[in-house]
């Protein structure tokens, strides 16, 4: 048990990055890639140990660890910050998801990365450290540090190896996320100051802020802080008004990077919402539940409708992830264990499925060098393997039963429908009697639109008669097979046996919801 140290897990990829980037490492492409894949595998297996030794019943954070300065004093004593890490039901799963997807992305980057390999693989590992840090941080200050640390590697990954308007979208991504994190910073400082006023001790520790109700803060203060957090995570999730960076970033990023972007980076937003908005300010979430639910519903329908009209394959998949993330919002707004566990499950499911979708798009782009759907047609003819793998993944994203997406959507919809969050809400002093049940029913319409754009895309790309120019569309190569099969294995396994996943994070959510 003692060899499991979170700091080691988080900074292991950073060590890998330093090894690769050092001058002593050979510049030959194959050696770098093999080392990177090996290292990614080690990190993944190490994170699996954490999952194995994680005991879901034990409440609160596990594997707690605080790193002090050599002098024994906390890391930033004047700021009241100590380098403390901890993991609970939700973050352990997201960390394993991160290591899993990074490993797959490394395997999948064999074909799409052709220049500056050392730089690429080191940036991927730095990104992995940042994201693992975000999930394991038990200290608000650490949360911000890792949150903003992921900006730089992501910027380079999109702008150096991307295609099309790569620099524009990379810059847009950076500014969007940074602007969002600025609001979060203000909100964190506000609650830290409030705690400092009440208790006189200055601390950033998450546990002290879990359940701020004890301080009886004025609602207006709570609402402003809640909105501060919400905007930061809405940019990352993304929620509709702040989502325009996602299609650009996805379209212009290379395949493995957009796999990671969709697979993990969107989850940081969702995780933040749960950790900050739900855990720290539950009453305010109860007051603003209508806002969260309405944004979720808009997210689902608006993005689905746009996805239908998309001509570019990657943009379509990007909008589909925005639509799926709306379900996370819906589950969160439901304010009951079922809804929130649906949100967490949807984050996991969408992570795997959207990574799969981007892998498929990458496979197609690699062979046809085009992402315009009208130009693609009848690709399934002489590549049955790719067709069937992408069919399973597409159906997974559709929410087909016995695949991972279904259990997530069911939990979210059942939870949201049966929640007592609100039966009507105030819109500028007028009482609008539209209850959460009606909103969930409207959200379920999204299921139809998802089916429309996924199946229509599938039919236009894979079925129908073959274009002559795609004659040599050869079937999946071993690398691609490995990635696709492992993704499908996870989708089918947790689709058939969702208890495997829910048994880990539901107890955590139970204890969390008891607070509210």
Partner 1 sequence: MELLNDIKIALLPESIMVLFIILTAVLSFASGKDRQDAIFYVSLTGVTLALLSMSVMDFSGEKEVLYKSFTSNYFTLVYRVIILAGTIFTLFLTKDYVKGFGKNKGEFYFLLMTASLGAMLLCGANDLIMVFVALETLSISSFALCGYTKSDRLSNEAALKYLVFGAAASAAMLYGFSFIYGITARTNLQEISGFLSTYEVNSILIIAFLLVLAGFGFKIAAVPFQSWAPDVYEGAPIPVAAYLSVVSKTAGFAVLIRFMTVLFPGVAIFSIILATFAVITMTAGNLTALGQRNIRRLMAYSSIAHAGYILLGLAILTNDGITAMTFYLITYLFMNFGVWAAIEILALATGKDNIDDFSGLGKKYGYFSLGLTLCLLSLAGIPVTAGFFSKFYLFKAVAVAGYEFMPVLVITLVNTVIALFYYMRIIRVIYLKPEPEIRHERVFRIALPVKFVMAICVAGVLLLGIFASPVIEKSGVINTTSQGIAVNQPPVSSQPPLLTSSPCLLTSPPLLASPNDGCGY
Partner 2 sequence: MEQFLEFFIENAGIIAALPLWTFLIIIFGQNLGVYDDKRITAGITCTSTFIGLIWSFFIFLWTLGAQEPFSKNITWLSAGNIELSAGWLVDNLGAMMLLVVTGVSLLIQVYSHGYMAKDPGYHRFFSYLNFFNFSMLGLVLSSNLFQIYIFWELVGLSSYLLIGFWFRRPSAAHAATKAFIINRIGDFGLLVGIIAFLFFSLNWWIASGNIYLSFTELQPAAEYVLTSAGPVVYFLIALAIFFGPIAKSAQFPLHTWLPDAMEGPTPISALIHAATMVAAGVFLIARAYPIFEISPDIMTTIAWIGAITAFITATIAITQYDLKKTLAYSTCSQLGFMVMAMGAGAYAAGLFHLMTHAFFKAMLFLCSGAVIHGLGDQQNMKYMGGLRKHMPVVAYTYLTGCFAISGILFSGFWSKEEIFSGLYGNNMILLGVGLIVALLTSFYMFRSYFLTFEGEYRGHAHPHDAPKVMTVPLILLAIPSTFIGFLLSGVLFLPSFDKYILAGQKAITHAEHHTGFLLPVISLLIALAGLLAAAYLYWDRFKQVRESVKITADNIIRITKPLYALTTNLWYIDKLYYAFIDNVFLPVCNFTANFDKFIIDGLVNLTGLKIRFEGWTLRQFQTGQVQTYLAILFSGLAGLALIFVLLQLLI
Chain residues that interact with partner 1, rule: CB under 8 A: 69, 71, 73-79, 116, 141, 144-146, 148-149, 151-152, 155-156, 159-160, 167, 171, 174-175, 178-179, 182-183, 185-186, 189-190, 192-194, 196-198, 200, 202, 218-221, 223-224, 283, 286-291, 294, 421-422, 424-429, 431
The residues near 165 (Cβ < 8 Å, ≥ 6 apart) are 248, 252
Residue carrying structure tokens 């046809």: 368
Q: Which of partner 1, partner 2, none does residue 251 bind to, with CB < 5 to 8 Å depending on kind? A: none
Give the one residue of 78, 369, 465, 471 binding partner 2; rule: CB under 8 A: 465
Give which of 293, 339, 336 is closest to 439, Cα–Cα.
293
- By a kind-dependent CB cut-off of 5 to 8 A, residue 438 interacts, out of partner 1, partner 2, none, with none
In the complex, the smallest distance separating the C-beta of residue 416 from partner 2, rounded to whole angstroms, is 9
Q: Which is nearer to partner 1, 232 or 501 (CB)?
A: 232
Nearest distance from residue 181's CB to partner 1, in Å? 9
Looking at residue 196, the DSSP 8-state letter turns out to be H
| Cα 299 to Cα 235: distance, rounded to the nearest angstrom | 12
8 Å CB contact between 357 and 394: yes
Choose from partner 2, partner 1, none: what does 225 bind? Cβ within 5-8 Å by kind: none
Q: Name residues contacting partner 2, limited to 371-410 (CB under 8 A).
A: 378, 380-381, 395, 400-402, 406-407, 410
Closer by beta carbon to partner 1, 102 or else 436: 436
What's the DSSP call for residue 312? B
- Which secondary-structure segment (H or E) carries 87? strand 83-87
Nearest CA to 319 out of 480, 135, 457 is that of 457
Report what 194 binds from partner 2, partner 1, none; CB cut-off 5-8 Å by kind: partner 1
Q: Could you tell me which residues come within 8 angstroms of residue 143 by beta carbon, excluding any fewer than 6 positions away?
A: 134, 137, 206, 272, 275
When the beta carbons of 60 and 500 are compared against partner 2, the nearer one is: 500
Task: Quote the CA–CA distance of 353 and 19 in Å, as a whole number.
Answer: 32
The nearer residue to partner 2, 41 or 464, going by C-beta atoms, is 464
CB of 424 to partner 1, least distance (A): 7
Q: Which of 84, 310, 354, 383 binds partner 2 (CB under 8 A)?
A: 310
Q: For residues 300 and 412, what is the distance between their CA atoms, to the nearest angstrom?
A: 13
Q: How far is the CB of 441 from partner 1 (least distance, A)?
A: 18
The residues, ordered by sequence, that sit 6+ positions from 69 with a Cβ below 8 Å of its Cβ are: 75
Cis ω for the linkage preceding 115 (within 30 of 0): no
The smaller minimum CB distance to partner 1, of residues 428 and 468, is found at 428
| Gap between the Cα atoms of 7 and 129, Å rounded | 10
In the list 84, 258, 397, 502, the residue contacting partner 2 (rule: CB under 8 A) is: 502
Under the binding rule (CB under 8 A), the answer on residue 180 touching partner 2 is: no
Is 511 near partner 2 (CB under 8 A)? Answer: no
Q: Rounded to the nearest whole angstrom, what is the least distance from the CB of residue 179 to partner 2 in the complex?
A: 10
The DSSP secondary structure of 210-261, one letter per residue, reads SSGGGG---HHHHHHHHHHHHHHHHHHTT-GGG-THHHHHHHHS-HHHHHHI
- Residues 6 or more apart from 419 whose CB is under 8 A from it? 334, 335, 336, 338, 339, 436
Query: Tokens standing for 199?
Result: 């208790």
Token pair, residue 109, equals 């980057």
Residues 248-287 as x/- pattern, contact with partner 2 by CB under 8 A: ----------------------------------------
CB of 455 to partner 2, least distance (A): 5
Residue 389's nearest CA partner among 462, 312, 498, 472 is 462
If one asks whether residue 56 binds partner 2 (CB under 8 A), the answer comes out as: no
The CA-to-CA distance between both ends of the chain, in Å, stands at 33
Nearer to partner 2, 9 or 512 (CB): 512
Write down the least CB distance from residue 7 to partner 1, Å: 13
DSSP-derived letter for residue 453 is H
Report the residue number, 115 or 471, with the smaller CB distance to partner 2: 471
Shortest reach from residue 83's CB to partner 2, in Å: 34
Q: Which of 135, 145, 140 is nearest to 225 (CA)?
A: 140
CA 70/CA 73 separation, integer angstroms: 7
Longest CA–CA separation in the chain, Å: 74
**CA proximity to 61, closest of 81, 82, 90:** 90
By a kind-dependent CB cut-off of 5 to 8 A, residue 286 interacts, out of partner 1, partner 2, none, with partner 1
- Check residue 464 for interaction with partner 2 (CB under 8 A): yes
Give whichever of 293 and 408 is closer to partner 1, judged by the CB atom: 293
Which residue, 351 or 415, has its beta carbon nearer to partner 2?
A: 415
Which of positions 212-251 make contact with partner 2 (CB under 8 A)?
Answer: 241, 243-244
Residues that bind partner 2 (CB under 8 A): 172, 175, 241, 243-244, 302, 305-306, 308-310, 336-339, 341-342, 378, 380-381, 395, 400-402, 406-407, 410-411, 413-415, 417-418, 437, 440-441, 444-445, 447-448, 451-452, 455-456, 458-459, 462-466, 498-499, 502, 506, 509-510, 513
């Amino acid at each position: 048990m003692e060899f499991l140290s979170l700091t080691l897990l988080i900074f292991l990829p950073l060590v890998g990055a330093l090894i690769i980037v050092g001058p002593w490492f050979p510049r030959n492409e194959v050696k770098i890639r093999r080392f990177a894949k090996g290292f990614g595998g080690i990190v993944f297996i190490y994170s699996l140990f954490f999952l194995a030794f994680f005991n879901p019943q034990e409440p609160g954070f596990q594997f707690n660890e605080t790193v002090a300065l050599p002098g024994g004093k906390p890391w930033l004593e004047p700021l009241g910050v100590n380098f403390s890490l901890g993991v609970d039901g939700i973050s352990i799963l997201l960390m394993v998801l991160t290591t899993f997807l990074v490993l797959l992305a490394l395997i999948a980057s064999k074909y799409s990365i052709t220049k500056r390999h050392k730089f690429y693989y080191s940036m991927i590992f730095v990104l992995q450290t940042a994201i693992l840090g975000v999930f394991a941080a038990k200290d608000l200050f650490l949360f911000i540090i890792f949150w903003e640390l992921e900006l730089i590697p992501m910027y380079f990954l999109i702008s150096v190896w991307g295609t099309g308007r790569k620099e524009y979208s990379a810059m847009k991504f950076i500014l969007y996320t940074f602007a969002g994190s600025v609001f979060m910073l203000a909100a964190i400082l506000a609650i830290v100051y409030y705690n400092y006023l009440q208790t006189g001790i200055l601390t950033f520790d998450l546990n002290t802020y879990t359940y701020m109700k004890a301080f009886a803060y004025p609602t207006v203060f709570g609402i402003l802080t809640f909105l501060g957090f919400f905007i930061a995570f809405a940019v990352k999730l993304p929620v509709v008004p702040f989502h325009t960076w996602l299609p650009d970033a996805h379209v212009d990023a290379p395949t493995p990077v957009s796999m990671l972007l969709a697979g993990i980076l969107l989850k940081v937003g969702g995780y933040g919402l749960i950790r900050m908005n739900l855990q720290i300010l539950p009453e305010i979430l109860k007051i603003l539940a209508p806002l969260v639910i309405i944004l979720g519903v808009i997210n689902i329908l608006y993005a689905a409708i746009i996805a239908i009209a998309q001509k570019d394959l990657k943009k379509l998949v990007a909008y589909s992830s925005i639509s799926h993330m709306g379900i996370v919002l819906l589950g969160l707004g439901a304010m009951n264990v079922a809804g929130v566990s649906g949100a967490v499950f949807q984050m996991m499911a969408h992570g795997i499925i959207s990574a799969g979708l981007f892998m498929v798009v990458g496979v197609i782009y690699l062979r046809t060098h085009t992402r315009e759907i009208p130009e693609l047609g009848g690709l399934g003819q002489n590549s049955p393997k790719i067709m069937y793998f992408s069919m399973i993944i597409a159906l997974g994203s559709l929410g087909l039963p016995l695949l991972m997406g279904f259990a997530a959507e069911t939990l979210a919809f059942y939870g949201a429908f049966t929640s007592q969050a609100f039966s009507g809400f105030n819109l500028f002093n007028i009482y609008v009697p539209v209850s959460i049940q009606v909103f969930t029913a409207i959200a379920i319409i999204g299921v139809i639109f998802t089916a429309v754009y996924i199946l229509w895309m599938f039919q236009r790309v894979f079925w129908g008669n073959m274009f002559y120019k795609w004659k040599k569309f050869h079937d999946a190569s071993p690398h691609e097979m490995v990635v696709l099969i492992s993704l499908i294995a996870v989708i089918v396994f947790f689709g058939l046996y969702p208890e495997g996943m829910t048994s880990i994070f539901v107890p955590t959510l139970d204890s969390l919801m008891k607070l509210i």
